Amino acid sequence: MDRIPILRMGNYLLVTIQVDLYDRLAQNLETDLVQMVSKTGARGVLIDISALSIVDSFMGRIIGNIGSVSKIMDAETVVVGMQPAVAITLIELGLELKGVYTALNVERGMQLLKEKILIDEDETEED
């Protein structure tokens, strides 16, 4: 069965979605990612959607779910590289991608994740 590869880099999991996903593939990605977070203890998930020409409500829900479940598993999710036309369409559709952080590109996305995780660690040290 087709799978979207998930790369592990230290505390982070990286996913680049290169093709327009059909439903089964998107759902597999959701379960695979959550299992990987649990297995590796990753603190951050970065999803690159720069190759996606459209994000409909189904795809939006999958991204939102990944964010919410990862959050429960103590990992932050950032979505990077959204095309401007996709962003405009998402808002008009009424989808706000709650529960995930977004960043312009991979570099800024990684920066954001590092900051989030650092803040978390600082807070636990103070306790």
Partner 1 sequence: MYIVLNKDRMVIEKEQDVVPYRNRVKEFAVKIGMSLVNQTKLITAASELVRNMLKYANGGVTTIEVISKGRENGIRLVFADKGPGIADLNLAMKDGFSTGKSLGLGLPGAKRLSSEFDIQSTVGKGTTVTIIKWKNG
Q: Say whether residue 53 binds partner 1 (CB under 8 A).
A: yes
35 touches 6 (CB < 8 A)? no
> Which CB atom, from 25 or from 73, has the smaller least distance to partner 1?
25
77 touches 70 (CB < 8 A)? yes
8 touches 42 (CB < 8 A)? yes
Q: Say whether residue 58 binds partner 1 (CB under 8 A).
A: yes
> Which CB atom, from 9 or from 88, has the smaller least distance to partner 1?
88
CB of 54: closest distance to partner 1 in angstroms?
5
How far is residue 37's CA from residue 95's CA, in Å, rounded to a whole number? 25
Q: Out of 5, 7, 18, 22, which residue is the one contacting partner 1 (CB under 8 A)?
A: 22
> Rounded to a whole number, what is the distance in angstroms from the first to the last CA of the chain?
46
Interacting residues toward partner 1 by CB under 8 A = 20-24, 53-58, 60-61, 83-86, 88-89, 92-95
